[in-house]
Structure 1
Amino acid sequence: MDYKSYFSGASGKGFLATSNKKGEVNIAFYSRPHVLDDGTFVFGMTDRLTHANLTENPHAVYAFNENGYSGKRFYLEKIKEATEGPILQQIKEEANRCVYPGAGALVKYVVYFKVTKELPLVCETCSGDHSKHICELAGQGKFDEIKKLAQAPDFMCINCGRLADKKENLCNPLSLADVPFGLVS
């Protein structure tokens, strides 16, 4: 995907999720990234929790919500950061212009990320073979098979949330045995 073209043509809101080394999560409203020619995402940051988390854990997710449920999730890994330079100055000037006069003074860092994975904001389709999923079986009238699966499905697709009896029937399976008690009902 050409990230520069995507962000220049899309309107919406963005959120950057980070966590510290203990896994405590933070999410913050963020403008669209500056995208370098090589696809690197660049964000200006204040000296707050998002930046503090990234000093402990270089992984983040930037979710960009377009219209309705359209948009993208970009899985990121921090490459480097800087406290000076032309990109930081540009971000400070944009903050002064777009947020409020003086907002740029709060921006202390420019942080660079490589995109490690890209997914739709909400998965509309799943590429797996869903012949054994409960919803497909219902459409085929196979209610005895549904009763067996509904009692104890073994896997869930991380992308679309569908349940299945075999991981081969899902494109991105998660064993329900790996989910902490109380998160699956």
Structure 2
Amino acid sequence: MSELREYFDNTKGFGVLSTADANGEVNAAVYSRPHVMDDGSLAIVMNDRLSHSNVVATQKAHFLFRENSSGYKGKRLSLTMLREEEDTELLFELCRRCKIDEEQPTKRRFLVFFRVDKELPLIGS
């Protein structure tokens, strides 16, 4: 997992988290690079929206990451949810874009931890 940590710490790019609800309705949303934790899990900051609801319902997600470089380089990660934290100190420490929203001071955020089940390149198998 240290390779994955180094990759996401040093590689800028565009991420898409894909989820589905219990009925199979699919959703995709733009997300920041995940954080690779010391235990090897991935942590993703999520707002209280559709993607989060889907992950809680199914415990599954897929993260596609395209590097900001020429060509099509990146990763596809199949994920299983392990646990979550709500509005914790760790969440705000890791969050790259979190700030106090004065218009929505009660906005809920979650730090969701995932196990990486499978890692594939962006193109090919």
TM-score, structure 2 as length reference = 0.85
Is 1:62 aligned to 2:44, yes or no? no
Partner residue of 2:6? 5
Partner residue of 1:37? 38
CA RMSD in angstroms comes to 2.1
Structure 2: unaligned runs, 5 residues or longer: none
Q: Whose strand fraction is larger, Structure 1's or Structure 2's? A: 2
Partner residue of 1:71? 74
Alignment of 1:155-166 (within 5 A): 159=125
The Cα shift of 1:107 comes to: 4.9
> Hey, what's the Cα distance between the residues in 2 that align with 1:47 and 1:84?
11
**1 or 2 for the larger relative contact order (CA 8 Å, sep ≥6)?**
2
Partner residue of 1:95? 97
3-state DSSP of counterpart to 1:18: strand
Runs of 4+ more than 6 Å apart: none
Letter in 2 for 1:83: E
Letter in 2 for 1:34: H
> Hey, what's the Cα distance between the residues in 1 that align with 2:19 and 2:4?
21
Letter in 1 for 2:79: L
3-state DSSP of counterpart to 1:95: coil
TM-score, structure 1 as length reference = 0.59
In the alignment of these two chains, the number of paired residues is 120
Structure 1: unaligned runs, 5 residues or longer: 124-158, 160-185
Partner residue of 1:133? none
Partner residue of 1:47? 48
Alignment of 1:13-32 (within 5 A): 13-32=14-33
The Cα shift of 1:113 comes to: 0.2
Letter in 1 for 2:101: G
> Hey, what's the Cα distance between the residues in 2 that align with 1:11 and 1:83?
26
> Hey, what's the Cα distance between the residues in 1 that align with 2:48 and 2:87?
14
Q: Whose helix fraction is larger, Structure 1's or Structure 2's? A: 1
The Cα shift of 1:34 comes to: 1.2
